[in-house]
Amino acid sequence: MSIRFHDSRLRKIVELDTRDSGRVSMYVCGPTVYNLIHIGNARTFLWFDFIRRYLAYRGLQVTYVMNYTDVDDKIIERAKVEGSTTDAVTARYTRAFEDDMAALGVSPADVVSRATDHIDDMVKAIEGLIDRGVAYVASGDVYYSVEKFSSYGQLSGRSLEDMRAGDRIDPHEGKNHPLDFALWKAAKVDEPSWPSPWGPGRPGWHIECSVMSTKYLGMGFDIHGGASDLIFPHHENEIAQAEALAETEPFVRHWMHAGLVQMESVKMSKSLGNVVLAREVVAAYPGEVARYWAMTGSYRTQLSFSDESLADAAQGYERWSTFLATAKHALGPDMPPAPQLLRRPEGAEGLAGPGAEYIGRFIEALDDDFNSSEAFAVVYELVREANRRVEGAQRGETEDREVLSSLAEAFAEMTSMMGFSFGPTESPELVGDLVAYLLELRDEARRIKEFDRADAIRKRLSGMGVAIEDTPAGARWRLTSVPKESG
């Protein structure tokens, strides 16, 4: 097996090299739970969900850890604005995040760690950094001395002279160097705090992830991921903390970063106010359309968001959904069942026939830096070939039915691996019977030339998300993924 991807630290394509054979340990920075996530945030989590799915599909056992930052300056400020408590703020936005992820089809991490559950671990790590001479105390605060870590800048590729203070670097008179960052912040009035050897306070942002990732995955775990705007200072500081504390062991084997989302060539950002919330997108379209949109470009590149790009994704997803419904209608009871456990390790036996070629090309594309664009192209090519077999399959021609069945099975495997289920292509029995009855009424109206009534029935069904297709064998129907009606 040779899965290749871009390692952000090495700045080149490398082959996945895991610490333990057949296993992948993976940590992704989760949200700071002070606000609703926007679609740019969501794209990062959709992509790492995709990567996790693919690694498992290729036969690897994945341990996936994600954190919640539930103590932070932004949370404290939000609580003040809302006249609430920090606990209430984090509880509310944690639930909102989980609801949004569920709506997008993102599976929960194997381990979800909260910063406030690991304060003692962070205090112990900070003590260790002070003992090693790379951290110092200043009036109840504790700072990391970046000049004491010779490899500082290895991830961002910049020297101390070239670096600028990032979003979460605060100026302070007690610092020895402008880029020194807080490991521990002394308590302020009406802010949450915990006891420590340096007085009451709370941990800095960066120490949270280096402590929680190594607690659950150990030093030298396989993949650390997050959005590209975390490279500096957050991930750079994580490396400095973890490797100074361990002294000899590498912190992470591979770094992966997802590209940002742009609105009119500007990064989507809560601070800039140019955001579209993830739940606003899901309110307008099915969550799987948002997933389709997120996967249309490389995980490493910036992706533009607009109403037009989302509408294009909806049309693409609808074409896939239409093929699935058409194949089911043509094959009837011979339609292959939906895949259950999706694992296709190298050399594994499985699908035979013409679908196997597409599976091979699909794997080849995703083995090459998770090239979803090429993987999508493979699925589209399969759909085009399969559609040429539909008419013959409906007539009962053996070869066309066998080819269509193989292609439909390959289609289901590939799209299921990518996280698409297409919802119910057939409604529950009662709803199906009602639709069938309305179609009978429509056929009767057409037979007696009451075309206005027939058109009214069709329009009403369309408004409820039921698409009608008239064929020589009679009317067929399916549920659609058109934008949801508002209000």
Judge whether residue 85 has pLDDT over 90: yes
How many beta carbons lie within 10 A of that of residue 277, not counting itself? 18
Are residues 108 and 198 located together in one domain of the fold?
A: yes
Q: What is the pLDDT of residue 428?
A: 44
Residue in 169, 190, 188 with CA at minimum distance from that of residue 180:
169
Dist CA 467 CA 162 (whole Å): 58
Judge whether residue 328 has pLDDT over 80: yes
Judge whether residue 166 has pLDDT over 60: no
Residue 128's pLDDT band (cuts 50, 70, 90): very high
Q: What is the pLDDT of residue 164?
A: 55
CA distance to 37, 204, 205, 265, 319, per residue, from 73 (Å)? 17, 9, 9, 29, 46
Average pLDDT of 256-276? 78
Six token digits for residue 253: 């084997």
Are residues 78 and 213 located together in one domain of the fold?
A: yes
Residue 57's pLDDT band (cuts 50, 70, 90): very high
Question: Per the domain annotation, does 316 fall within a domain?
Answer: no
Question: Per the domain annotation, does 300 fall within a domain?
Answer: no
Judge whether residue 330 has pLDDT over 60: yes
Q: What is the pLDDT of residue 427?
A: 43
Judge whether residue 362 has pLDDT over 50: yes
Average pLDDT of 313-320? 93
Which residue among 295, 314, 337 closes a domain? 295
Report the mean per-residue pLDDT for the chain: 89
Question: Per the domain annotation, does 143 fall within a domain?
Answer: yes
Identify the residue with better confidence: 446 or 294: 294
Are residues 406 and 433 located together in one domain of the fold?
A: no
pLDDT digits (tens, 9 = 90+) for 189-222: 989 999 999 999 999 999 999 999 999 999 999 9
Question: Per the domain annotation, does 3 fall within a domain?
Answer: no
Dist CA 88 CA 75 (whole Å): 10
Are residues 341 and 473 located together in one domain of the fold?
A: no
How many beta carbons lie within 10 A of that of residue 146, not counting itself? 22
Six token digits for residue 427: 């409604």
Domain of residue 213 covers 15-295
Average pLDDT of 473-481? 66
Residue 233's pLDDT band (cuts 50, 70, 90): very high
Judge whether residue 156 has pLDDT over 50: yes
Are residues 274 and 348 located together in one domain of the fold?
A: no
Which residue among 247, 277, 295 closes a domain? 295
Residue 7's pLDDT band (cuts 50, 70, 90): very high
Are residues 376 and 254 located together in one domain of the fold?
A: no
pTM of the model: 0.84
Q: What is the pLDDT of residue 421?
A: 85
Question: Per the domain annotation, does 124 fall within a domain?
Answer: yes
Judge whether residue 440 has pLDDT over 90: no
Q: What is the pLDDT of residue 439?
A: 83
Question: Per the domain annotation, does 340 fall within a domain?
Answer: yes
Question: Per the domain annotation, does 422 fall within a domain?
Answer: no
Are residues 177 and 286 located together in one domain of the fold?
A: yes
Element (H, E) at 401: helix 398-417
Q: What is the CATH number of the domain that holds 346?
A: 1.20.120
* Structural domain total, the chain: 3
pLDDT digits (tens, 9 = 90+) for 277-296: 999 999 999 999 999 999 99
Are residues 413 and 336 located together in one domain of the fold?
A: yes
Are residues 98 and 180 located together in one domain of the fold?
A: yes
Question: Per the domain annotation, does 304 fall within a domain?
Answer: no
Are residues 412 and 464 located together in one domain of the fold?
A: no
Which residue among 247, 275, 295 closes a domain? 295
Are residues 116 and 263 located together in one domain of the fold?
A: yes
Are residues 407 and 433 located together in one domain of the fold?
A: no
Dist CA 44 CA 10 (whole Å): 21
pLDDT digits (tens, 9 = 90+) for 167-185: 445 556 789 998 999 999 9
Element (H, E) at 141: strand 141-144
Burial of 337 (0-12, 13-18, 19+ CB in 10 A): exposed
Q: What is the CATH number of the domain that holds 62?
A: 3.40.50.620
Judge whether residue 266 has pLDDT over 70: no
CA distance to 121, 236, 242, 244, per residue, from 249 (Å)? 19, 16, 9, 9
